[in-house]
Amino acid sequence: MAKPVPLGTRSEVERRVEHRHTLSAWRPELPPVLSTPHMIGWMEAAGFEALLPFCEGDEVSVGAAINVTHRAPTGIDSTVRCEAVLESVNGRFLTFRVNAHNGSEVIGYGTISRAIVSKSKFEEKHKAGGR
């Protein structure tokens, strides 16, 4: 089982917006700004990084829930910093307060929940089609 994770555990990831991260990469008629799914993925990455030191053996963290608001556009070549801070633990679910900042304003915020699982058991369940 994973080591206990103290409240306040945090991590940040920083990414540069490239064309492949934009709405226009998906549909050319859309604006060349950071897509919500990419922003959320970077927030998830911050939560993943925060939990890495607490995983043991073949344990990894996986996403379990997302509640995020995307408030402002961010263009190509902008740097986005995403932070995740552990806010609560409910059994095996760990909920992070997350935000994304483009250097001048907060562009997104909310919560994400992750669970620490045994990779081999998780994959075994997936192959069996179970939950």
Q: Which residues are catalytic?
A: 36, 44, 70
Q: Residue 126 burial (CB < 10 Å; 0-12/13-18/19+)?
A: exposed
Strands laid side by side in the 79-90 sheet:
10-16, 79-90, 93-101, 106-118, 59-70
